[in-house]
């Protein structure tokens, strides 16, 4: 058995979804939900159908008494393997167990069974607020609690065990879900996210592969043909809406990139930097290794970014690589490779004085000054020679 829970504030929408078929037209809706259980709610049939409007008023009447609770309704779904068909009696018992374990026993609840998919499943709609609208059922750790509840019910009623399909917690830590759909989705995101300029553009890309994207406080990937919904945060922290946006801006480096490409990029930079003395040569050297290098402004400061196809994020900022790789660090290393040396007293060195004396003795001023210039250049001496000081004259 697999459980899934969401909370919301639209009771009419929840009731219509669980009871009627989803159609564009509001008229002539077909009933798809079989009513199996209710408590603290008057179910009033009208013309052979449940009066959803009357039921909704009972739920919303309590919700209006507590304006602090913005999501007063809990929508719970439990699904079974394709070859398992529990009776309505078992489903009713599971509903009562759920009410007892999650704190809904003295609150409003109603349950419907669906037969419109290959696997059997049923839905529970519950009011989180008690009948006095004072206390609300907590939603913290609900994924972990629901998975624990499913294992308990499987043992209690002899149902088939189903592998946990959502985020699980072990020793207080969240583990990403692992199944073929989740693995394929991660691979698609890692491959195509770096090619997008924004989340909206990424959404269009994913549609080509059959995925719809729902955005709210988080992001959910929907595969309609298989009726699969996977939250980005359940795939891992690298796939939450917030971190996907940061990956596009180079402000978040996924763990799988940290363990491979980042180490490789640092190694390449460390090998190249001692051999170059300016940004342009550094940029060319990195391009031969598959990285494009650009300067950017980040928080009113200059930074350097590295891009590479298949990196797994849009780009990596030098500041994200750690100490020694920020723009100011790299510039400092450029300067260390091309030092500016002071030569105030270099005119007294044997090499320069010998050449000057030779030029005076032999009157080969132009030729010998050319040799001096070449020697100074070879020794990285930037300071020129004042010929008037030495009284150099050209022989006529």
Question: What is the tens place of the pLDDT at every residue in 243-296?
Answer: 898 888 777 777 766 666 777 888 888 888 888 888 888 988 888 888 888 887
Residue 168, SS3 per DSSP = strand
- 73-79 and 121-127 beta bridge pairing: antiparallel
User: What does the pLDDT average to over 22-41?
Assistant: 77
- Residue 387 CA to residue 396 CA, distance in Å, equals 17
pTM: 0.45
User: What does the pLDDT average to over 124-145?
Assistant: 88
Structure tokens at 5: 């829970």
Answer with the residue of higher pLDDT: 316 or 4: 4
SS3 content of the chain, % helix, strand, coil (to 5): 45, 20, 35
Domains identified in the chain and CATH numbers: 2-172 (3.30.930), 176-248 (no CATH), 257-337 (no CATH), 346-390 (no CATH)
> H or E segment at 302?
strand 301-307
Residue 380: which region, alpha, beta or left (left: phi > 0; alpha: psi -120 to 50)?
left
Which residue, 393, 346, 347, 390, is CA-closest to 366? 393
- Residue 46 CA to residue 151 CA, distance in Å, equals 39
- Residue 65 CA to residue 127 CA, distance in Å, equals 13
As a whole number, the mean pLDDT across the chain is 79
Which residue, 185, 21, 191, is CA-closest to 114? 21
By residue count, the chain amounts to: 396
- Residue 279 CA to residue 316 CA, distance in Å, equals 17
**DSSP, res 31:** B
First-last CA distance in the chain: 108
Q: What would the pLDDT profile of 222-231 be if each residue is shown by its tens digit?
A: 888 776 788 8
Q: What would the pLDDT profile of 177-193 be if each residue is shown by its tens digit?
A: 667 788 888 888 888 88
Q: Return all residues near 186 (Cβ < 8 A) that are at least 6 apart.
A: 235, 236, 239
């Amino acid at each position: 058995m697999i459980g899934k829970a969401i909370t919301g504030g639209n009771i009419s929408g929840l009731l219509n979804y669980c009871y009627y078929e989803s159609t564009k037209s509001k008229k002539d809706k077909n009933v798809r939900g079989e009513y199996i259980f209710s408590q603290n709610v008057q179910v009033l049939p009208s013309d052979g159908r449940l009066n959803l409007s009357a039921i909704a008023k009972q739920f919303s009447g309590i919700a209006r008494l507590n304006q602090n609770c913005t999501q007063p309704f809990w929508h719970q779904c439990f699904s079974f393997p394709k070859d398992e068909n529990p009776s309505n009696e078992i489903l009713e018992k599971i509903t009562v167990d759920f009410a007892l374990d999650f704190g809904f026993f003295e609150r409003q609840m109603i349950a419907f069974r669906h037969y419109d998919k290959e696997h059997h499943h049923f839905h529970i709609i519950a009011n989180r607020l008690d009948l006095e609208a004072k206390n609300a059922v907590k939603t913290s750790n609900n994924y972990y609690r629901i998975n624990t509840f499913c294992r308990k019910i499987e043992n209690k009623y002899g149902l088939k065990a189903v592998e946990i399909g959502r985020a699980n917690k072990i020793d207080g830590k969240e583990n990403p879900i692992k199944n073929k759909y989740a693995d394929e989705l991660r691979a698609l995101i890692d491959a195509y996210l770096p090619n997008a300029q924004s989340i909206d553009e990424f959404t269009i890309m994913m549609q080509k592969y059959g995925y719809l994207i729902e955005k709210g406080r988080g992001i959910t990937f929907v595969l309609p043909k298989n009726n699969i919904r996977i939250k980005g945060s359940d795939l891992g922290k690298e796939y939450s809406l917030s971190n996907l946006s940061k990956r596009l801006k180079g402000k978040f480096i996924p763990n799988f990139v940290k363990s491979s490409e980042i180490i490789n990029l640092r190694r390449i930079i460390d090998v190249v930097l001692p051999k170059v003395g300016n940004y342009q040569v550094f940029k060319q050297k990195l391009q031969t290794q598959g990285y494009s290098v650009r300067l950017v402004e980040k928080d009113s400061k200059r930074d350097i970014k590295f891009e590479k196809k298949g990196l797994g994020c849009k780009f990596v900022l030098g500041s994200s690589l750690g100490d020694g790789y920020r723009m100011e660090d790299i510039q400092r290393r450029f300067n260390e490779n091309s030092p500016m040396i002071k030569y105030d007293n270099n005119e007294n060195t044997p090499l320069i004085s010998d050449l000057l004396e030779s030029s005076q003795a032999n009157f080969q001023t132009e030729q010998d000054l050319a040799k001096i210039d070449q020697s100074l250049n070879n020794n990285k001496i930037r300071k020129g020679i004042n010929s008037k000081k030495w009284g150099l004259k050209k022989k006529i």
